[in-house]
Structure 1
Amino acid sequence: MIDTELETEVARRTQARILDAANQVIAKVGYKRLRMEAVAKGSGITRQTIYNYFPNKQQLATAVLLREGALVNERAKENIPNDLEGEALLSAAVLALVDAARAMPIFEGLFEEGSMGYVNELAEHSQVIERMMHDYWAPVIERIAATGRVRTDIAAERIEWWLSFVYRALLQRPAEDLDDRAGMDALVRNFLAPAVMSR
């Protein structure tokens, strides 16, 4: 029993070192130029051992994205005021999520030209990513629904998909666009809110 627990702890630490190194590589060169050799060098773990945990580059990058994405969600949730409703709540939720993602170095590497196709492909076809986005957007939609303002002609899952799509699209915008808080707020209120809320 003790041997099994020790093996599990060693495996957990090894996996964390691999993910940490891959995170740094993606942040530096992007997903497109991610190489297992660089991850091995950064982690001090052999390529063969890395392949034992992650059979290919896509699975490794997916694991990193899921880990970092969960952190982004938690940080963003902490920055949504509890007293907002309607368009103000939606705007705060979008801006909090974008800000939290921008604060993580890996997202610059993931959303660079050449890597974006991978991110979109993963987001569109990964149930794990879908659940992660659901965990973020469902409470926001529930708060809006509590005031009777969520559109009832669209399924909540479709609204979550739309919000996640817009979030990914915003992360591709130049920094000066994202830094324009009034412009971002107007974008959410004028274009995104009508897709989510009834008037």
Structure 2
Amino acid sequence: MDHELETEVARRTQARILDAANQVIAKVGYKRLRMEAVAKGSGITRQTIYNYFPNKQQLATAVLLREGALVNERAKENIPDDLEGGALLSAAVIALVDAARAMPIFEGMFEEGSVGFVNELAEHSRVIELMMHEYWSPVIERLRATGEVRTDIPVERLEWWLSFVYRALLARPPEDLDDRAAMDALVRDFLGPSVMGR
């Protein structure tokens, strides 16, 4: 088989596996993810799936990274260019939470029994760290440009803290996240002082 064709076949196979795994996780959560269900959903044998992803943790990680990149892109598009200070921070947090909630997989990832995997992955994955850096760095730079970000804490720690709070918010009940005024107040009153200059 031609190398380019072989590569394209592998890419499409991997995409089908990830699509099926995405649907399974969205439906049953990470804890109940089974390779049999992914095989059935993708029409690809379990053995072939294992050739691409040796275990369900690696499979779920790949799905989460792919969907997380889409979340970042969509969230960035919803942060107005004219905001500053607390309004900017609030908009950035809410945009990211909203973008994640719009992706079916995130409900399955943040259900009871699955959220531990997400938190462990986020704390130990360099790829997740870089993904969060790509989202939060421009926000922090905009705050810095107007002198509204703390300088006594390294930027990496601020990014870590913002990412931690983001994950914590996704684990909250939907009715809490639907309350725009409460979300805005939470960010401004509690998250804001820990990130912005006094």
So what's the TM-score if we normalise by structure 2? 0.99
Query: 1:4 aligned to 2:3?
Result: yes
Give CA-to-partner distance per residue, 1:50-92, whole Å, 9 cap, x none: 0000010000000000000000000000000000001000000
Aligned counterpart, 2:170: 171
| Structure 1 residue matching 2:150: 3-state secondary structure | coil
Cα distance in 2 for residues equivalent to 1:174 and 1:50: 34
Residue type of the alignment partner of 1:139: P
Question: Alpha-carbon deviations, 1:9-29, whole Å to 9, x = none?
Answer: 000000000000000000000
Secondary structure of the residue aligned to 2:39 is helix
Partner-residue secondary structure (3-state), 1:152: coil
Matched residue count: 198
Moved over 6 A (4+): none
1:67-120 deviations in Å (ceiling 9; x for gaps): 000000000000000000010000000000000000000000000000000000
2:45 is aligned with 1:46: yes
Asked if residue 151 in structure 1 is aligned to residue 150 in structure 2, the reply is yes
| 1:131 lines up with 2:123 in the alignment | no
The answer for the alignment partner of 1:196 in structure 2 is 195
Amino acid at match of 2:77: E
Q: Matched residues, percent identical?
A: 87
Task: Spell out, residue by residue over 1:110-151, the C-alpha distance to the aligned partner (whole angstroms, 9 max, x if none).
Answer: 000000000000000000000000000000000000001110
What's 1:140 paired with?
A: 139
> Secondary structure of 2:23's match?
helix
Any idea what the Cα deviations from partners look like across 1:32-62, whole Å, max 9, x if unmatched?
0000000000000000000000010000000
> In structure 2, how many angstroms separate the alpha carbons of the residues matched to 1:17 and 1:6?
17
Unaligned runs of at least 5 residues, structure 2? none
- Gaps in structure 1 of 5+ consecutive residues: none
Indicate whether 1:180 and 2:179 are aligned.
yes
**Residue by residue, what CA displacement relative to the aligned partner does 1:140-196 show, whole Å, maximum 9, x if unpaired?**
000000001110110000000000000000001111110100000000000000010
